[in-house]
Structure 1
Amino acid sequence: MKILAQPRTAAFFDLDKTVIAKSSTLTFSRSFYQGGLINRRAVLRSAYAQFVYLLGGADHDQTERMREYVSSLCRGWNVNQVKEIVAETLHEVIDPIIYDEAASLIEQHHAEGRDVVIVSTSGAEVVEPIGELLGADRVVATRMVVADGCYTGEVEYYAYGPAKAEAIAELAVSEGYDLARCYAYSDSITDVPMLEAVGHPHVVNPDRAFRKEATAREWPVLTFERPVRLRQRLPTLAMPPRPALAAGAAVAAAACAAGLVWYASRRRSARATAARFTTV
């Protein structure tokens, strides 16, 4: 009797405030400053924006306006320089803020035979190395147009909202995933389309509005609160990471960090508060 192979499955993870405790791009702001991509004022404002983001994140309108500003700001930046900065500082800035609970889930899904896919609005220059660090099998991230080794300032693909769900659907076709048996995790209400796309959606560290939405949909709500270095976890997590395969070309992740200069500039009255968080 011929035994039919089971369809493949995957677990899809948002990145910021789901797998790691902060904004991935903002966390690199000091490294970008040291590399000459942003100035001292931008570091100050990025630190303040990180604080605001941790308190409640950015809504849809803020995110869209920030994206437009970032697209203009990054024009002319050297792609290889961004990649080098991220590679040199990855373990220093990202390893300490990975949620222990998320790392355990990633380990569990791999042990049960599922692929792990990071699906993030952040730029691929940041998301791809983090995905590799985590042992992810694939990465979906925002990307921008590159010409002559530099960003043109135009967005080629924006991994946000419904676009995440579309990317998951495309992966399901190309990789043979049975989405009804797949899992997804996110902290953001803008990721509802991604969560709707799978049979096992999970909400992580939601704000009040998203918690209400999760309750109405009877989606499980998880609390992640223990950032820990991967090297401090069980020895099984010390194995070489799986290769992270990008779902598209690279994006100016550094621009995303500096782009929050725009957000903070709208809050000039809070400069004193911003100064308190220059070391965040």
Structure 2
Amino acid sequence: MALALFDLDETLLRGDSASLWLEYLVEQGLAPADMLAREQAMMNLYHQGKMDMHAYMAFTLAPLAGKARAWVDGHCQHFCEQWLLPRLYREGLDRIAWHQRRCDTLVLISASGEHIVAPVARALGMDHCIAIELDMVDGRLTGETCGVLSFRQGKVARLHECFGKACAGSFAYSDSINDLPLLEWAEFPHATNPAKALRELAQARHWPVLEWDKSLLE
């Protein structure tokens, strides 16, 4: 079984789904506007490889604490359809279709929350979705996460939970140096729309560098 592992943010998607989700919440009057600047400061740390993901998730999940999961899922489905799907790169969809023709097992693996990522995975026909899991009590979000966060080495840990040891012939696609453990886990890593640090490392290691920033669905 060959896995095809796709990161979402800045890889298949122009932009970061979690940042866009917060913009959506502010637009809908469900989160205060002053959260946006603080979230962007946290994202700057992410791009430097210095983010505390537990702190980031606690901050961005705060507006959802106490909300019914069904209510959140309804908003996330609308957000996916109206905000995220138009931002997908055509080249990324072409690569997904190539893997589907090969009968590979498709995995969307992201450090964003599964409430955001799962609707995208369904829309793309992914076989599996690995994302940060949300804690719930009596059908309502607590504002906390649970389980191993699918971030940095946590992505590999979650892959081990799902599939065991590394699968021969597996492919991985990501833009970020934070996903170096994921790329190293796969037999065929691809630096995709890579940021500077990953681009330099990929070139030094002679990994393929893909640019999927030419055509969007919109």
- Is TM (by shorter chain) over 0.5? yes
1:161 to 147, 152, 157: 152
Give matches, 1:227-238, under 5 Å: 227-229=215-217
Name the residue aligned to 2:37: 45
Per-residue deviation at 1:9?
A: 1.2
Write the letter of the residue equivalent to 1:211. R
> Unaligned 5+ residue runs, structure 2?
none
Per the alignment, do residues 98 and 167 of structure 1 end up closer, same or farther by CA in structure 2, a change over 3 Å counting? Answer: same
Name the residue aligned to 1:23: 16
Q: Residue deviations 1:58-115, cap 9 Å, x none?
A: 3332343423534656533332222111112322111210011110000000011111
Matched, 1:212 2:200: yes
Write the letter of the residue equivalent to 1:226. K
Matched, 1:11 2:1: no
Name the residue aligned to 2:112: 122
State the alpha-carbon separation in 2 of the partners of residues 118 and 132 from structure 1: 10
Q: Helix, strand or coil: the match of 2:119?
A: helix
Per the alignment, do residues 178 and 191 of structure 1 end up closer, same or farther by CA in structure 2, a change over 3 Å counting? Answer: closer
Name the residue aligned to 1:265: none
Matched, 1:172 2:175: no
2:72 to 68, 75, 82: 82
Per the alignment, do residues 167 and 193 of structure 1 end up closer, same or farther by CA in structure 2, a change over 3 Å counting? Answer: same
Name the residue aligned to 2:175: 187
State the alpha-carbon separation in 1 of the partners of residues 104 and 88 from structure 2: 20
> Unaligned 5+ residue runs, structure 1?
1-7, 233-280
Alignment root-mean-square deviation, CA = 2.7
Per-residue deviation at 1:10?
A: 1.6
Per-residue deviation at 1:181?
A: 0.5
Name the residue aligned to 2:25: 32
State the alpha-carbon separation in 2 of the partners of residues 31 and 140 from structure 1: 23
Write the letter of the residue equivalent to 2:31. I
Name the residue aligned to 1:58: 47
Displacement over 6 Å in runs of 4+: none
Per the alignment, do residues 57 and 110 of structure 1 end up closer, same or farther by CA in structure 2, a change over 3 Å counting? Answer: same
Name the residue aligned to 2:121: 131
Given that 2:4 and 2:107 are in contact with CA atoms closer than 8 Å, whether structure 1 keeps it comes out as yes
Write the letter of the residue equivalent to 1:45. A
State the alpha-carbon separation in 2 of the partners of residues 160 and 195 from structure 1: 13
State the alpha-carbon separation in 1 of the partners of residues 57 and 154 from structure 2: 15
Write the letter of the residue equivalent to 1:167. R
Q: Residue deviations 1:211-266, cap 9 Å, x none?
A: 1211222211111113422xx8xxxxxxxxxxxxxxxxxxxxxxxxxxxxxxxxxx
Q: Helix, strand or coil: the match of 1:141?
A: strand
State the alpha-carbon separation in 2 of the partners of residues 40 and 186 from structure 1: 30
Q: Residue deviations 1:5-36, cap 9 Å, x none?
A: xxx11200010000101111222334323544
State the alpha-carbon separation in 1 of the partners of residues 57 and 122 from structure 2: 25
The structure with higher relative contact order (CA 8 Å, sep 6+) is 1
TM-score (norm 1): 0.69
Per-residue deviation at 1:129?
A: 0.4
Name the residue aligned to 1:108: 98
Q: Residue deviations 1:123-167, cap 9 Å, x none?
A: 111101001111111100101221122222332131111111122
State the alpha-carbon separation in 2 of the partners of residues 222 and 57 from structure 1: 22
Given that 1:56 and 1:207 are in contact with CA atoms closer than 8 Å, whether structure 2 keeps it comes out as no
Report how many residues are paired.
Answer: 216
